[in-house]
Amino acid sequence: MTEGSDSPAGSSNSDDAPVNVENVTPNDRVNCWVCFGNADDDRDAEWVQPCRCRGTTRWVHQTCLQRWIDEKQKGNSTSAVSCPQCNAEYILVFPPFGRFVFVLDMADRLMYKMCPLATAGIVVGSIYWTAVTYGAVTVMQILGHKEGLSTMEHADPLVLLVGLPTIPIMLILGKMVRWEDYLLKIWRRYSNRIPGLKQLLGGSSDADGRGIRDRPPPDVPAFSDPVSVTRVLCGALLLPTMATVFGRVFFSHIPHNPQRILLGGITFVAVKGVLKMYLRQQQYVRQCQRKILNFDRSSVYPNSPTNSQSSQTNDNSNPDH
């Protein structure tokens, strides 16, 4: 595609000039492949041969082709358009702009290309300063408001700009480590070797254990469960707050705030992990004890949407019942 007719004078050839249908031999059929009109319909119409096509498909009205190109470009006048038959790209020539309009057009195109980069920079900068703010709040939460603020005031600004954003990043990365799955896998492997140890995370009787031994569920990889992004973010960013709460509740006798919050965080993570392991083990045992019943058309099983719908249908069909 060409924009602006800046070619030197005298360089224009017969391909750029409109075709005069009077110079066409009688053997040539002049039919527009857009509107299917011929030269007899409108003698004053301007014809053009814009591509490498031969025969009747090489002719087209200038106005018809302009309208067809507008439909293909869909408002974007800079997009290239090709012939649907020979795939030759149409040569589109625009009249030249004035200097002022040319500057405005270049500025508009530059803004169009720079806006995505500027938007990405604004988003990244917003995320960065949000991480810096969260890191500063976490430092004051752990060390105390006065001590944390004093520590950051006396620290190197470069250390703060690099270190504070790493606090939420490290919390998120630590949250993504699914250590409960590894411990639960080890538990299932070695719990049968120690008597009574299996009952801690949900044991089963001999009758139930027979079903577990007969049909163990498939070995699911540790990271096969989908990770919820919102859950990871909430769990990671709320960890300092929960550590502070657990530290004040269970370790209020410790005078130093960092040690108290550290012990509170370890306690919170440990309790949460044990409860999660217990839930996963109970789901594992329940999956192992699943049974498939024989089909009985006359029986109605609880919690079955199909049977409840069929029973409602039978009640509606028997009004005297």
pLDDT in tens, 237-273: 999 999 999 988 898 888 888 888 999 999 999 999 8
The answer to whether 2 and 92 have CB atoms below 8 angstroms apart is: yes
Percent of the chain with pLDDT over 90: 19
Beta carbons within 8 Å of 20's beta carbon, 6+ residues apart: none
Percent of the chain with pLDDT over 70: 73
Sign of the C-alpha dihedral computed for residues 78, 79, 84 and 90 taken in this order: positive
Per-residue three-class SS string for 43-63: CCCCEECCCCCCHHHHCEEHH
Residue owning tokens 């707050």:
241
CATH topology for the 18-90 domain: Herpes Virus-1 (3.30.40)
Beta carbons within 8 Å of 43's beta carbon, 6+ residues apart: 21
Reading phi first (left if > 0) and then psi (alpha if -120 to 50, else beta), residue 10 is in left
**pLDDT for 293-320, tens place per residue?**
888 877 655 555 545 444 444 555 454 5
Beta bridge partners of 60: 48
Domain ranges across the chain: 18-90, 99-189+226-289
Burial level of 319, CB count in 10 A (0-12/13-18/19+)?
exposed
| Residue (of 131, 125, 138) closest to 162 by Cα position | 131
